[in-house]
Amino acid sequence: MRSYKMAVARLWATTKTALATTVLALPAQAQTEPDRSADADTGRIIEEIIVTGEKRARSLQDVPSSISVVTDRDLDLLPGRSLADAVTIVPNVTAQNQGGRTGTYFYTRGIGRSELNFPIVSVNVNGVALPDPSFFGLDIDAAEQVEFLRGPQGTLYGQNTLGGVVNISLKEPGDELAGSVDVLAGERGYRESAVRLEGPLWGDRLRAAGTFLWNDVDGFIRNTTTGKPQNNERTFGGSLFVVAEPTDNLQIDVNYFVQDRNDGLAQFPQADDLFVITNNAPTEEDAQSHILGLKLVYDLGHMRLESQTGFSQIDRFTQNDLDFSAASVATSTADSDIRQWTQEFRLVSQNSGPLNYIVGLYGLSLQNDFDVYINDLVDAGMVGTPTSINDLVRFDDKALAVFGQANYVLGDWELTAGLRYQHERVETDNTNTLFAWPRTASAPPLAPVTAVNGKQTYNKLLPRLAATYAVTDDVKLYGSISRGFRAGGFNNTVLTAERLGITGLPKSYGPEFTWNYEVGSKWRLPNGFGRIDVTAFYIDWSDLQAEQIAPGSLIDFRTNSAAATSVGAEIETRLYPTANWELGGSFGYANAEYDRFVEQLTGADLAGNQVAGGAKITWSVFTRFEDDDFFGRIGLAANVSANGASDRFFDVANQVPGDDYALVNARLGLTYENWEIFVFARNAFDETYIEFEFTGFGAFVNEPQLIGGGVEVTF
């Protein structure tokens, strides 16, 4: 082991000079580490969790909001290492696969399903906002912790936070040479490796960390036409995090995250066998994601000036077999390129007195170029004539905002008030062309080119009020009111619908809003025994952008023809019966119903129906035992976790139900010094359920049982 560490040290020494030269002037603000001190009487770990959801480091106990935290220690409890896996232990949050890992959509408190470019939950990686649900299947192996802020967060985060915010904090580099190597293997050709290396580059002024992740697994859906597994998955990527402190007052973070994924999409399995398809045309997806962040912090004494610059991009290419059979009837290809720049300036107080505040300026520029071809199509107007429909969409979103929030301590009370003014403009340029198929470069269109051009502008105020009462330092009661907002948009499917003879679809829709009313309590139990958080909420959802499917097709569109309410509660707990044993669990209930909803095309009155997608009940439980000296010098690390959700509906008419499910995961490992050998089981009892289903067209099924093992070494 010593020779291995010396070799790593030599490798680090030969590369760090080049890295230091490249980023010599780059520092970073240190992440506040959780306090994991032990109680003197019981030996239990007392973990003070620090969160940054209010854009300042605060104890989870003191924040008047419902926040769930998944730490890097919790990753072993999850069925995988993606953001979608992390939500499995968070109450009232579910993730649905609606077409590959870049088709991951979040549902929070019954609110869900995201239109292209307009997420219902905003995801941030080290302060960089991600523009589209295409990013949400990211692997989080490099994360220090993931914070889930439930409920609208419009005051500090702006648009697209109707359901909440997810903050992913990457592990910062340490000031000593260290690293880790993980190698895993299992059924269906599953292979995964992860490497991390960190250390100083230039004394205590410059340090860096690099990670690499690769995984590969064969698909579990069998294509009887090709005779091969359909939904193979492959991912590789990495991250670089540089921290520098050129002066005592100036700090800078630079982080870069890249990931390349290929998924063999197994869309629309046959109803009689969820693991068999007959597609004859290629169905796959390639996606390359880039996330770049630059944060500068200058300490001014009683306040600090922060600058947060972010860039995110995803290039995605998708092929589909639209007839879902061995016949050559209809195929499609889609190519999208999404780029987003954000810039935020903040003044953050650092007072020891009763008043603390944050004020900021924010700017956003997003561009999405989306190019879709539907080929081999025989439509009602041209029977027997193969055609190709080309839908070319250019979408732009620009936003400017000013915001502020203040906290004032008055005895046992803390009062919070915040306000955001946001100006936003969205534009689209959509053209639709009909060609003969196969298409040649010189062939003219078969019909006139149609187009939709539109622009919408919004000026919105997004307030927040909260109050916290400290019964004791360990018992806090709070209440809050906040407003959420999501911009309107354009139904870019309307031109294709008209080619297919479907008329009457609106070309655009307006913004939607939520008011969230919340009360809760946070309890730290005596002697480090654990914590319990309880929350109740009421959400008023107006001008809802209701998603509908044109009958007999996959053409989706949105209208502001609905309103809904969601009422529910959440409870989370972590208990430490002994110094080595941890228990935890969560329970969420959200009754989300339409108060008003008349379908655009059918005129059906859907008031009283359950809001599509979200489950009324979510739950999770886990137990974890860790003892470094369980067998003398051999340690034991074991955990078992389970999570599930109640039945739900996948359509607004509540005609396509989804079953409830319960998944169990387990991991058992032996440790010796800095080595661990382990076995694991994901979906241990091979539970099968439908993750998402389109009316009359088929479904996406969850991943079956996967058993494997691995080795981890740290140095």
Quick: pLDDT tens for 481-510: 999 988 888 988 888 888 778 888 888 999
User: What is the rounded CA–CA span in Å between residue 144 and residue 159?
Assistant: 26
248 pLDDT higher than 80: yes
Distance of CA 308 to the CA centre of its chain: 20
- Residue of higher predicted confidence among 361 and 158: 361
Q: C-alpha angle 356/358/360, rounded to 5°?
A: 165
Retrieve residue 233's tokens: 């998955």
Quick: pLDDT tens for 191-233: 999 999 999 999 889 999 999 999 999 989 888 888 888 888 8
User: What is the rounded CA–CA span in Å between residue 233 and residue 218?
Assistant: 7
Q: Are 213 and 236 in contact (CB under 8 A)?
A: yes
Q: What is the pLDDT of residue 323?
A: 77
Quick: pLDDT tens for 123-138: 999 999 988 766 666 7
Which residue blocks in 484-556 are alpha helix, DSSP H? 494-499
Retrieve residue 276's tokens: 């068999």
Closest CA to 310 of 363, 359, 360: 363
In the chain, what are the domains?
2-714 (2.40.170.20)
Quick: pLDDT tens for 301-331: 999 999 999 999 999 998 888 777 887 778 8
Quick: pLDDT tens for 267-306: 666 567 888 888 888 888 898 999 999 999 999 999 999 9
Quick: pLDDT tens for 616-655: 999 999 999 999 999 999 999 999 999 999 999 988 889 8
Quick: pLDDT tens for 527-548: 989 999 999 999 999 999 888 8
Q: What is the pLDDT of residue 267?
A: 63
- Greatest alpha-carbon pair distance for the chain in Å reads 83
Q: What is the pLDDT of residue 455?
A: 94
Q: Are 117 and 503 in contact (CB under 8 A)?
A: no
- When pLDDT is averaged across residues 2-22 and rounded to a whole number, the result is 38
Report in angstroms the alpha-carbon separations of 119 from 165, 529, 599, 706.
10, 38, 23, 31
One-character DSSP codes across 385-451: --EEEEEEEEEEEEEEEEEEEEEEEETTEEEEEEEEEEEEEEEEEEEEEEEESS--TTPPPSS--EE
Q: What is the pLDDT of residue 191?
A: 96
Q: Are 579 and 587 in contact (CB under 8 A)?
A: no
Q: What is the pLDDT of residue 695?
A: 66
Q: What is the pLDDT of residue 383?
A: 44
Amino acid (one-letter) located at 66: S
Q: What is the pLDDT of residue 377?
A: 56
Retrieve residue 608's tokens: 């009283």
Q: What is the pLDDT of residue 7?
A: 37
Q: What is the pLDDT of residue 476?
A: 98
Q: What is the pLDDT of residue 22?
A: 34
Quick: pLDDT tens for 347-356: 999 988 899 9
What counts of helices (H) and strands (E) characterise the chain? 4, 43
Which residue blocks in 358-453 are alpha helix, DSSP H? none
User: What is the rounded CA–CA span in Å between residue 236 and residue 212?
Assistant: 8
Q: Are 622 and 642 in contact (CB under 8 A)?
A: yes
Share the mean pLDDT of the chain. 86
User: What is the rounded CA–CA span in Å between residue 666 and residue 459?
Assistant: 50
